[in-house]
């Protein structure tokens, strides 16, 4: 199999530093899976989700199939059948087990998947000690970022799985976080003009869908200084937002009717209000925290109700470029959005992914990664919307202002919220 990754950029770390980050990333994934029983790790709660055991195996499959096969011509895996079982969507590599049937893979057992991880780790780390080519180091770098994406997916899928259980079990113990009153919403104005969007990777790794850096013209606009909160979204609900068809896109209204939506995912009626199911189990709904687990349709309807709109991804990136990548990420251990008492433009990163009004499409001059990993992003550039900023279960080092996430407009098991925008008057 012939494959390649993004070109090396000057000043990037060599194989020693990469091996350290490789070990740390692989160890963190296993730590995230550690609270799960073998039964937890095997079950698939819906076709969009995957069992934890599959995430553990697939991320290993990536390093074995994409990296080790590139290093060892004629390599034959000692793990019979895994090449098909744990291939996600790489048609160029070969067949895949049906995605909706991943929960039927009771074998290999969890302990066998863990042994698979350790065997591939040992083999790959031996190669890294031999100073492989820059092309191979780039593939390992891509694999690390790929695994970081699956760390987030793992927690998303565990939350969805546990929410199906009438016992509403907790994945982890609650972590105390200060409750903040969000205060009134304020707006930050931006003059617009020609803006540099995207990245060529001069500052380090970027995915192919972030490239190339290009200019985009922005009309003057305003961006809300913080995301929409739970309390604000509750006002939309109380005002009949889910019962007013004129607020909704046609597909959105059809989805509301079909799915019988009346509130964000994981909200639970409690007296006259709501509680929330979280990875720490059933918890009070923090009024000042960003609303989470809303679809694009819900975000768009709320924005229309509020007399505003969603930002384009170019507006979001233009505004975020001056913000440091800091906030509430996976590393905090909270695994749930929290409120912020900071002033000014805040929570651009962490807490919740923010829906934009932009279709997930290639940038002008887009070129996918070469070889097998050409299928990594480009093949999904249709019928999805872009989200920006990361969330409370995203690894902090994985994020940057140019990072583009994408989901279908009806999906809401991801940690997604919204920030309002409007044209400058």
Claim to verify: residue 127 and residue 203 sit in the same structural domain = no
Distance CA 154, CA 293 (A): 16
The pLDDT of 179-194, averaged and rounded, is 88
Q: Which of 4-8, 27-31, 154-158, 404-408 bottoms out in mean pLDDT, i.e. has the lowest?
A: 4-8
pLDDT (mean) for 417-424: 98
* 33 domain residue, yes or no: yes
- Whether 138 and 229 map to the same domain: the answer is no
DSSP character string of 121-184? HHHHHHHHTT---HHHHHHHHHHHHHHHHHHHHHHHHHHHHHHTSTT---SS-----------S
pLDDT of 22 above 70: yes
Q: Is residue 392 part of a domain?
A: yes
pLDDT on residue 207: 97
Residue 234 has pLDDT above 80, yes or no: yes
Provide the mean pLDDT of the chain. Answer: 94
pLDDT of 123 strictly over 60: yes
What pLDDT sits at residue 178? Answer: 65
- Give me the pLDDT at residue 341, please: 77
**Is residue 363 situated within a structural domain?**
yes
> Does the residue 8 lie in any domain?
no
Residue 132 and residue 25 in one domain: yes
Confidence of residue 10 (pLDDT cuts 50, 70, 90): very low
Count of domains forming the chain: 2
- Statement to judge: residues 124 and 252 lie in one domain: no
Query: pLDDT tens digits for 235-276?
Result: 999 999 999 999 999 999 999 999 999 999 999 999 999 999
Alpha-helical (H) ranges within 34-97 are: 38-42, 52-62, 69-71, 82-85
Structural domain span for residue 239: 187-423
Q: Where does 239-350 have alpha helices with state H?
A: 250-259, 296-305, 313-320
- Tell me, yes or no, whether 228 and 91 share the same domain: no
**Pairing assessment for the beta strands 273-278 and 193-197 based on DSSP bridges:** unpaired
* Res 2: pLDDT: 45
Q: In terms of Cα–Cα distance, which of 27, 17, 18 is closest to 395?
A: 27
Q: What is the pLDDT of residues 151-174, one digit of tens each?
A: 999 999 999 999 999 999 999 999
What's the distance, CA 90 to chain centroid? Answer: 20
Return the pLDDT at 16: 79
Cα–chain-centroid distance for residue 44? 19
Whether 235 and 381 share a structural domain: yes
- The CATH number of residue 366's host domain is 3.90.1580.10
Quick one: 93 and 192 in the same domain? Answer: no
Same domain, 211 and 327: yes
Query: Region 301-329: what's the mean pLDDT?
Result: 97
Q: Among positive and negative, which fits the CA dihedral 322, 338, 28, 147?
A: negative
The yes-or-no verdict on residue 101 having pLDDT over 50 is yes
By residue count, the chain amounts to 425
Judge if 311 and 401 occupy the same domain.
Answer: yes
Q: What are the pLDDT digits (tens) for 53-78?
A: 999 999 999 999 999 999 999 999 99
Establish if 152 belongs to a structural domain. yes
Residues 317 and 284 in one domain: yes
């Amino acid at each position: 199999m012939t494959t390649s990754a993004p070109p090396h950029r000057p000043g990037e770390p060599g194989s020693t530093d990469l091996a350290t980050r490789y070990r740390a990333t692989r160890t963190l994934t296993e730590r995230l899976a550690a609270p799960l029983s073998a039964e937890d790790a095997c079950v698939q709660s819906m076709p969009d989700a995957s069992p934890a055991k599959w995430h553990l195996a697939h991320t290993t499959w990536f390093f074995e199939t994409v990296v080790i096969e590139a290093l060892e011509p004629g390599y034959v895996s000692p793990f019979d059948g895994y090449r098909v079982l744990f291939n996600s969507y790489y048609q160029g590599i070969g067949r895949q087990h049906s995605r909706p049937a991943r929960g039927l893979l009771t074998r290999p057992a969890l302990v066998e998947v863990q042994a698979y991880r350790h065997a591939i780790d040992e083999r790959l780390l031996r190669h890294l000690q031999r100073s492989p080519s820059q092309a191979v180091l780039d593939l390992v770098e891509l694999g690390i970022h790929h695994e970081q994406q699956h760390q987030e997916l793992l927690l998303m899928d565990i939350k969805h799985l546990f929410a199906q259980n009438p016992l509403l079990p907790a994945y982890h113990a609650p972590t105390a976080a200060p409750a903040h009153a969000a205060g009134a919403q304020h707006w930050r104005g931006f003059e617009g003009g020609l803006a540099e969007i995207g990245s060529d990777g001069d500052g380090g790794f970027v995915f192919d869908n972030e490239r190339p850096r290009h200019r985009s013209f922005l009309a003057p606009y305003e961006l809300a200084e913080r995301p929409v909160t739970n309390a604000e979204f509750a006002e939309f609900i109380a005002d009949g937002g889910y019962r007013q068809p004129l607020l909704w896109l046609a597909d959105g209204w059809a989805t509301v009717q079909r799915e019988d939506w009346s509130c964000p995912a994981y909200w639970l009626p409690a007296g006259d209000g709501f509680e929330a199911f979280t990875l720490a189990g059933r918890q009070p709904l923090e009024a000042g925290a960003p609303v989470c687990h809303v679809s694009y349709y819900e975000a768009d309807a709320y924005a229309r109700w509020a007399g505003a709109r969603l930002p384009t991804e170019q507006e979001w990136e233009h505004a975020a470029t001056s913000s440091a990548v800091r906030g509430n990420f996976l590393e905090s251990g909270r695994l749930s959005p929290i409120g912020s008492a900071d002033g000014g433009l805040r929570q651009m990163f962490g807490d919740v992914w923010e829906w934009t009004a932009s279709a997930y499409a290639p940038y002008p001059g887009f070129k996918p990664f070469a070889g097998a990993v050409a299928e990594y992003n480009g093949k999904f550039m249709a019928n999805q919307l872009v989200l920006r900023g990361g969330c409370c279960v995203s690894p902090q080092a994985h994020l940057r202002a140019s990072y583009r996430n994408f989901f279908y407009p009806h999906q809401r098991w991801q940690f997604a919220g919204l920030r309002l925008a409007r044209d400058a008057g």
